Amino acid sequence: MDQERGSPAVGEVEVDRLRLADVESLARVHGMIWRATYTGLLPDAVLDSLDPVAGAARWREAAQRLADEGPTGAAHPLGSNGPPPVADTRVARQQDGHVLGFISVGPPRDDDPPAPRELWALNLDPAWHGTGLADRLLTAALPMGPAYLWVLEGNERAIAYYGKRGFTDTGRRKELIHRTGPTGVAEWCLLRP
């Protein structure tokens, strides 16, 4: 754990819905997590595009929509008309407001989803891996029932983590399309029945 920040025990970390007050800290930690996790797996151009100011703006919009509309329940395939769905996003934050990670769960973004809910993202500060905090986030947003997710090929830690929590490889693959464009990197679909 991060000794510089004097990290409290996992039980002292709050897991709650995304708030507007979280967005700057969340944007910083989100970029840090992606660089730590995906260096060597994603093209440098994707990682170089991570800007905390732009990230905070995207998270601010998500937090405002979550506060105004609540999470979206209906399926909303990528590329369909209308506003994008609103994910149920939970954050893990220390008492000083420092965000340690987040989970986003929402309706499927695929045309032919294998389950009624999709785990869009589960990202945690690597200093907190192995502490049980990822499980707290998962339980808060997706406690049981069928769900699926896409995991980056080569992200062995995540594949093992989800496997221990009942997610299995469906054999489905697709290319990760980032907001910067195609990446040339495959994602694997994992399903929890």
**pLDDT tens digits for range 6-22:** 445 776 899 999 999 99
- Mean pLDDT, the chain, integer: 90
Distance, CA of 68 to CA of 66 (rounded, Å) = 6
Distance, CA of 55 to CA of 76 (rounded, Å) = 22
Contacts of 98 (CB under 8 A, 6+ apart): 5, 25, 29
Sign of CA dihedral 134, 28, 117, 177: negative
- Among residues 58, 53, 88, the alpha carbon closest in space to that of 73 is found at 88
* 45-72 tens-digit pLDDT: 999 999 999 999 999 999 998 888 888 7
pLDDT-based confidence at residue 82 (cuts at 50, 70, 90):
low
Residue 70 pLDDT: 85
Q: Over 90: is that where the pLDDT of 177 sits?
A: yes
* 130-154 tens-digit pLDDT: 999 999 999 999 999 999 999 999 9
- Among residues 157, 73, 152, 180, the alpha carbon closest in space to that of 116 is found at 73
Residue 102 pLDDT: 97
Q: Which residue has the higher pLDDT, 171 or 75?
A: 171
Sign of CA dihedral 137, 141, 146, 149: negative
| Overall average pLDDT of the 28-56 stretch | 94
Domains of the chain, each with CATH number or no CATH: 10-192 (3.40.630.30)
> 106 - beta bridge partners?
118
Q: Over 50: is that where the pLDDT of 5 sits?
A: no
* 87-112 tens-digit pLDDT: 899 999 999 999 999 999 999 999 99
pLDDT-based confidence at residue 85 (cuts at 50, 70, 90):
confident
Residue 72 pLDDT: 72
